[in-house]
Amino acid sequence: MKKLLMSSAATLALAVSAQAADVKVGSVGGITGPIAEIVADVYEGRNLAAKHVNEQGGMFAGDTLVMVPGDGACDPKAAVDAATKVVNVDQVVAIVGASCSGETNAMVQAVTIPAGVVNVSDSATAPSITDLADNDLVFRIAPSDAYQGYALADYVLKSGVTKVALTYSNDDYNAGLGKVFEKAFQEKGGTITSAQVHEPNKASYRAEVQTLSGGEPEALVLFAYYGSSGISITRNALETGSFTKFFGADGMINEETIKQIGAENLQDAAYTTPGADDTTASYTAYAALASAGGLRNAFGPYVPNGYDATFLMALAIEKAGAPDRTKIAAALREVANAPGEVILPGEWEKAKALIAAGTDINYQGVSGEIEFDAKGDVSGVYTLNTVTPEGTFKTVLLK
Amino acid sequence: MDGYALYVVGLLTAGGIYAILALALNLQWGFTGLFNAGIAGFFAVGAYVSVILTAPESPTIIGGYGLPLVVGCGAAMIASGLVAWGIGRVCIRLRSDYLAIATIGIAEILRLVFKNESWATNGPRGIAGIPKAFEWVPYPWNQVAFLGMVLATVLVIYLALETAWRSPWGRVMTAIRDSEAAAKASGKDVERFRLESFILGAAIMGLGGAYFAQYLKYFGPETSDPTSVTFLVWVMLIMGGSGNNRGAVLGALLLWAIWSATELLTSMLPPDWAVRSAYLRIFLIGLVLQVVLQRYSKGILPETRPAVVGTSTRAGATTGNAT
Amino acid sequence: MWELFNFYLIPGIVLGCIYALGALGISLTFGILRFSNFAHGEMMMLGAYFTFTIVGLTGWHPLAAALPAMVLCAIVALGLDRAFFKPFRQAPTIMLVIASFGLMLMIRSAVQFFWGVSPRPLMPGIQRPQAFLDGALLIAPKHIWIIGTTLLVMLAVHLLLTRTRTGKAMRAVSDSPELARLTGIDVEAVIRATWVVGAVTAVAAGVMLAMDTQVETLMGFKMLLPMFAAAILGGIGRPFGAVAGGLVIGVVEEMSAYPFIGTVPLLNPAYKSGIAFGIMVLMLIWRPSGLFKGRVF
């Protein structure tokens, strides 16, 4: 056993370079966990990016980019197990993922940082990830949710609403967002008539929304995932007549929300999301590609981020010149950050040619411009999504 | 096969911690017949207590005293034992199914407390940066050293339980399990014995929680969800062989290997199947479980009765089925 | 006064009806097969998916579509019993519990595989409550349907258990399987009948839940523990105790959010899932046989 290990450590580097036709990237996420419906869409985004890479010449001299799935189930135990497999058995060059903050936190600390593998998470938003001692291996393109809470608070006040009731789901994403919003809204002079945490996955929230409607709030600010409690609370609030005006964030943005509640009932709803607005070139490019690729939910929560994370990772590996784990981190910053020739989603062939020519490139994502800071975080731009009478989301830039 | 060796290290580490939990459950269920369905609760108490004592200071949680890991593990065992004592005082007289329901309920309430009292536990955000034993050893030997610690612990608990199993104490336990009335009639304080077994088992579960927190270097409310802790450990024990300590260890390692390694199969499917292959894997796990259960309806290593002390000291180690 | 009634008590009763229907099946299975069926929630979910698909194909009202779904689920339940539960008839009941756990994983992942994981609406749009008694009483039409159907299903189960040969045999087996076997009751037939009734009530519960919320793959699992609590609360093996238990838990869960003191909910809604367990644990300590004198093991 020990001898086996000794040889394992020695040949680790060899094994990485020994891979011929496949460039493997781990694709870890909460496929079977509590937000399975969101993660399924995110994987479509990731796979679409890999498809674009492979259709336009692949990696290096025609190698195939292979996304090796790992089911982290939004459970730290499963995430560590999944990451151990993709890092050691599949010998991936780098990892895209994981989905939930706890999942990502455990995965990077227990597996990828010790093994020296870079990961880019497309949806982990917890502030604690920023400050990990990560040897510059942990990146994410989901902005820490502190910014979004402020952006939404600003917007609510600007739209003339000063008294709101607040409820947020008790999970790692929405609870953080809810607390930031509560603080920001009050700092900026708004009144919160009542703030409630709710447990997701209950069958009825009628009593809660009725109690929230006390104190005459003008609107309900709701942070939740659409599948686990967001739709239920919106429905219950409308049905009991407690609220007709809603504010929220990206967890709600899914066509299912409109389909279930009805567009006519959501004319007074507005949801923020980190990402480019529909006037940017990145947005237009991605929208066309996603619709051609048959994505069910191209702008669902973190779907653009999934695309960006994968595309960016492929660019970084190409930039590194070899599937070498140690070179990815530096290459990531080079391809993501300004300055450089702008690369839009889907422009793999162009990017590949520029990298080959030694030109510096700068990927402009759909989820934002993606400029990594020293801690591997991005600061996002935010867009506002409203529901059109025809039952689609309309996206405009905030600020 | 280098990468596979490192994967096996990871597999055995998690499987070993599950073996600790399965041994603890075997003490409660296999020996004494206590239907504890609240494993996740004791697991979480142990994990949070050890983390609060050993983690570095942080504004997001209480404690953060940076104490040595041994202190954390000891405190985890004591805390879980104390919680078990409190629960046991009230619930231990309940018969098996009712004890199961009571413990499952209490474990869920504990999980809600850990999830909601953010001032102490950072709530759903969880605690990152948990110190882990042997981190100073260079990679990958630190992982191997940690595995060594886990396996040594499994061995110690196994030997201790085997000794207890053959002692008069152990025989009283099985007597209570098989016929409480008879045990009572022969003058045994049944409730005290049951309580002792319950507390001891819970303390070991607390240690399992502390180890898992170290291994993951992160702990949050989702880490102790009932499916992947309580129910999984039950499946491990029943599959391996309830009432047999080796069965408990074997069941834990085997089921964890099935749980984990099935993904190696399903991840070979085309990438467009990434999502569906994960569902397929869970289906496979369920199916393999059913097959094993039907093939070994008493567990893979069924219970063997230790002989009465004096007739043969090695009798407990034989594999003959005395029941 | 009417606010408490309309916005807290009625939703509580609706929720309680769903719990009650689910707990009814759990309690019956427990009484006759003597194990806690972890796959019961998944049967609810499967029934809701069948109903959803039938509604999509035919455009029927969900309650009408639920009838063929019940037949399908009953067939599935009988098949699963034959394949996964029958081998353990003589084994310790813990084997059945573990087998049902494995089955829970299998059913859920099969549905996720074939239908996907996106939540789907069974009744899209929203239904505002209609006013009765000069506007004092507010209740949504679908809630009248849910309460009415629950009463109907319960009445049917009651008649089955008290008026039919099969039902009487079921009660006999529940009271004492050995005695029942000695008196010539075909225990296997009783077990099959139990699976059919269990599946039918599970589909009813799943469809009610889906009408009030949505169809999704975790819907049954989310309800499982509160339904167990309801079955225990009413007394194990006492079907109507389970119904009462479900109603108590549903009503207390919703009432707990009423601002009895000041303007904040009486109990922080984050602890809502704890209510069922809190009631259950207190009940076990105070009166282990449940509200309706169930079996004490």
Distance CA A142, CA A368 (A): 9
Q: Do the beta carbons of residue A331 and residue A39 sit within 8 Å?
A: no
C158 touches chain A (CB under 8 A): no
List of residues 6+ apart from C182 with CB closer than 8 A: none
Contacts of residue C208 in chain A, CB cutoff 8 Å?
Answer: none
Burial of B308 (0-12, 13-18, 19+ CB in 10 A): exposed
Higher pLDDT, A398 or C244: C244
Q: Do the beta carbons of residue B177 and residue B15 sit within 8 Å?
A: no
Burial of B82 (0-12, 13-18, 19+ CB in 10 A): middle
Q: Quickly list DSSP for C196-217.
A: HHHHHHHHHHHHHHHHHS-B-T
pLDDT in single tens digits along all 297 residues of chain C: 677 888 899 999 999 999 999 999 999 998 888 888 999 999 999 999 999 999 999 999 999 999 999 999 999 999 999 999 999 988 888 899 899 999 999 999 999 999 988 888 898 888 888 888 777 788 888 899 999 999 999 999 999 999 999 999 998 898 888 888 898 899 999 999 999 999 999 999 999 999 999 999 999 998 998 998 898 888 777 788 889 999 999 999 998 888 887 778 888 888 988 888 888 888 887 877 777 666 543
CA quadruple A11, A13, A19, A23: dihedral sign: positive
C51 touches chain A (CB under 8 A): no
Contacts of residue C255 in chain A, CB cutoff 8 Å?
Answer: 207
Give the number of beta-carbon pairs within 8 Å between A and B: 177
pLDDT at C294: 60
The secondary structure element, H or E, covering residue A1 is: none
pTM: 0.92
pLDDT tens string B84-120: 999 998 888 887 777 888 898 899 999 999 999 988 9
Q: Helix (H, G, I), strand (E, B), or coil: what is residue A381?
A: coil
pLDDT at A146: 74
Nearest to B218 among A87, A105, A197 (CB): A105
Average pLDDT over residues A220-241: 92
Distance CA A280, CA A262 (A): 29
pLDDT tens string C174-199: 888 888 889 889 999 999 999 999 99
C129 touches chain A (CB under 8 A): yes
List of residues 6+ apart from A298 with CB closer than 8 A: A45, A286, A287, A290, A291, A304
Distance CA B216, CA A79 (A): 9
To the nearest whole Å, the CA of B115 is away from the closest chain A CA by 8
Which phi and psi angles does A335 have, rounded to 5°? -80, -20
User: Is there a contact between A199 and C271 if contact means CB atoms under 8 Å apart?
Assistant: yes
User: Is there a contact between B10 and A32 if contact means CB atoms under 8 Å apart?
Assistant: no
pLDDT tens string B221-271: 999 988 889 999 999 999 999 999 999 999 999 999 999 999 998 888 887
Neighbours of chain A (3+ CB pairs under 8 A): B, C
For B135-168, b/e burial (b = at least 16 CB within 10 A) is eeeeebebbbebbbbbbebbeebbeebbebbbee
Strand ranges, E, within chain B: 127-128, 218-219
pLDDT tens string B214-235: 999 999 999 998 888 999 999 9
pLDDT at A19: 44
Q: Helix (H, G, I), strand (E, B), or coil: what is residue B282?
A: helix
Q: Helix (H, G, I), strand (E, B), or coil: what is residue B118?
A: helix
Contacts of residue B217 in chain A, CB cutoff 8 Å?
Answer: 106, 109-110
Contacts of residue B282 in chain A, CB cutoff 8 Å?
Answer: 32
- Asked whether residue B201 carries a pLDDT value surpassing 50, the answer given is yes
Which chain C residue is nearest to residue A236, measuring alpha carbons?
C126
Question: Which pair of structure tokens corresponds to residue B81?
Answer: 């034992």
Burial of C1 (0-12, 13-18, 19+ CB in 10 A): exposed
The secondary structure element, H or E, covering residue A68 is: strand A64-71
Which chain A residue is nearest to residue B209, measuring alpha carbons?
A77
Per-window interface: C 230-259 vs B, CB < 8 A:
232, 236
pLDDT tens string A276-302: 777 889 999 999 999 999 998 888 888
Q: Quickly list DSSP for A179-195.
A: HHHHHHHHHTT-EEEEE
To the nearest whole Å, the CA of B259 is away from the closest chain A CA by 10
The secondary structure element, H or E, covering residue C114 is: helix C93-115
Average pLDDT over residues B7-12: 96
User: Is there a contact between B105 and C91 if contact means CB atoms under 8 Å apart?
Assistant: no
B281 touches chain A (CB under 8 A): yes
Question: Given the structure tokens 């009530």, which residue do they identify?
Answer: C201
pLDDT at A160: 93
Residues B304-312: contacts with CB within 8 Å, 24+ apart? B304/B244, B305/B174, B306/B165, B306/B166, B306/B170, B306/B171, B309/B166, B309/B168
Average pLDDT over residues A69-80: 94
Q: Do the beta carbons of residue C40 and residue C277 sit within 8 Å?
A: no
Q: Quickly list DSSP for B182-244.
A: HHHHTT--HHHHHHHHHHHHHHHHHHHHHHHHHHHSEE-GGGG-TIIIIIHHHHHHHHH-TT-
Burial of A62 (0-12, 13-18, 19+ CB in 10 A): exposed
Residue type, A183: K
Q: Do the beta carbons of residue A247 and residue A237 sit within 8 Å?
A: no
Question: Which pair of structure tokens corresponds to residue B27?
Answer: 């003490």
Q: Quickly list DSSP for A134-171.
A: -TT-EEESSPPTHHHHHHHHHHHHHTT--EEEEEEESS
pLDDT tens string A115-147: 999 999 998 888 888 888 888 999 998 887 777
User: Is there a contact between C217 and A36 if contact means CB atoms under 8 Å apart?
Assistant: yes
Q: Helix (H, G, I), strand (E, B), or coil: what is residue B119?
A: helix
